[in-house]
Structure formats: C-alpha cells, structure tokens
C-alpha cells in the first residue's frame, strides 16, 4: 500500500498501537483487515468454537474476527475489549446486527484489567496486540483469572525474527520470541503452553496456545486416587 510508505515509522507505529482519527479509521482498518486475515483465520481454527461458547477477544481492532466468531457462537456471546475509540466505532458498525441481538458486546477499556467475573470466559484470543503491553505479565494474569477451568487461550503474533523485518519504532513495539510467549503463558498459570504455526500472508502465522486446568477434573482424579489408596 503506497500511502503506508509515506508515513513516518513513528506515526505508523503509534497508529498500530492505538488507531485514531482519519488514519486510524480508514488506513489502519484496511491494514489490519488485510494483514491479519490469515492470522485471524488460524486463531479461529485453533479456538474450535462451539455454538454455546462465551468468547473474549482482547484488542478487537476493526472487529472482523469478532463478527466471524459471532457467526459461529449462535447460542453464546462474543465479548470484545479495546482501548481505541476509533476501533470501537468501526467494530460496532461491522457487528451492528450481532450487537442488536445481544450476541456481541464491545467495550472501550484498557486491557490490563478486564471487566469480567472470575472464570466467566470459555475461550480467549488476542491477535497482534502483545507487542504493546508494557507489563505483559499483568495482562496474562488477568486473562488467566477470567478464563474458566478447562478453557483455552490463543495468542496470535509475529515473533521477534519477523518483527525485525518491519519498519517499526522499538520504543512502541516490544518483540518476543516464540519461547518468550510460551513462558509468559506458563508463568501466568496456564498449562500445556506451546506454539502452532501455519503458512500465511505476509508471514508464517504463529499462535501460542494453552489451557487453564480443569479444577473439577483434577479434584475428581484426586478423589479417585484416595479411594484406590483406601
């Protein structure tokens, strides 16, 4: 996209972090929808959504993935949170019908604290937002809190090698290796953290995937073990 080459790196980086104004409304929406298409599709595939799922997307951007997930979770609800007013307006337009039916609920809010009850979300995803979290441990701890036992988290991202090929401001974007993201999930308490990858455009798509242990399942296993011991 020719106009992107005309923008100073810092302006583009700031807009990627928090889209605003005309640039955010039009240019960044197009960049996000085109550049994230394959990664969004891979995230949705891994989530394996069911009709009754309650799903949360952290940093929903223009709202295209929100809309696609809501088309599947017809008996559930898709929650979304993003701190850009411009993206909230764009996503609200894209999801107007789902919002009217109560199937999509979007909020403008900083994502380091999530306005959801403990263990109230079945599945959670976030795409190309990790780079902007100044203290990522806080974000992952909050996500761990709201995900229900047995729930799944999928983080779509570009790794540090891919990010090094982009003209972005390092003081705005933080880069992470695949191992870094796996460790962040594990440190927050998630289990089975691992990376999945898939050929995509403009890069290979990477997703860090993990689950929150099912407490009831472990409790049942423990009770069964006690019975055996007796």
d(CA 70, CA 52) in angstroms, rounded, equals 10
User: 102: how many CB neighbours lie within 10 A of its CB?
Assistant: 8
The predicted structure's pLDDT at residue 215? 67
Give every residue of the chain whose pLDDT is below 70, as ranges: 1-6, 215-230
Model pLDDT, residue 7: 77
Asked whether the beta carbons of 159 and 93 are under 8 A apart, the reply is: no
Query: Quick one: fold of 2-229?
Result: Rossmann fold (3.40.50)
Q: Among candidates 114, 142, 127, 103, which has minimal Cα distance to 47?
A: 127
How many Å apart are CA 89 and CA 92, to the nearest integer?
Answer: 5
- Give the pLDDT of residue 221: 45
Determine the pLDDT at residue 116: 98
pLDDT of residue 6: 64
Could you report the per-residue pLDDT of 1-21, keeping only the tens digit for each?
A: 445 556 789 999 999 999 999
**Domain residue ranges in the chain:** 2-229
Q: What confidence score (pLDDT) does residue 76 get?
A: 98
């Amino acid at each position: 996209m020719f106009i992107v080459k005309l923008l100073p790196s810092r302006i583009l980086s700031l807009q990627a972090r928090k889209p605003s104004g005309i640039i955010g409304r039009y240019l960044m929406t197009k960049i996000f929808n085109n550049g994230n298409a394959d990664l969004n599709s891979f995230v949705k595939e891994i989530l394996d959504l069911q009709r009754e799922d309650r799903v949360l997307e952290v940093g929903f951007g223009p709202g295209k993935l929100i809309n696609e997930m809501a088309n599947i979770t017809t008996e559930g609800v898709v929650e979304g949170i993003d701190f850009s007013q411009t993206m909230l307006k764009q996503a609200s337009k894209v999801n107007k019908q789902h919002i009217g039916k109560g199937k999509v609920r979007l909020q403008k809010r900083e994502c380091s604290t999530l306005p959801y009850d403990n263990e109230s979300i079945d599945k959670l995803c976030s795409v190309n937002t990790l780079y902007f979290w100044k203290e990522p441990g806080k974000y992952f701890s909050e996500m761990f809190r709201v995900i229900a036992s047995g729930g799944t988290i999928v983080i779509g991202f570009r790794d540090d090698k891919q990010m090094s090929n982009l003209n972005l401001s390092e003081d705005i974007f933080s880069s992470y290796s695949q191992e870094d993201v796996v460790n962040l999930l594990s440190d927050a308490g998630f289990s089975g953290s691992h990376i999945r990858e898939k050929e995509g455009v403009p890069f290979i798509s990477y997703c860090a995937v993990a689950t929150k242990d099912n407490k009831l399942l472990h409790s049942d296993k423990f009770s069964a073990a006690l019975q055996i011991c007796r």
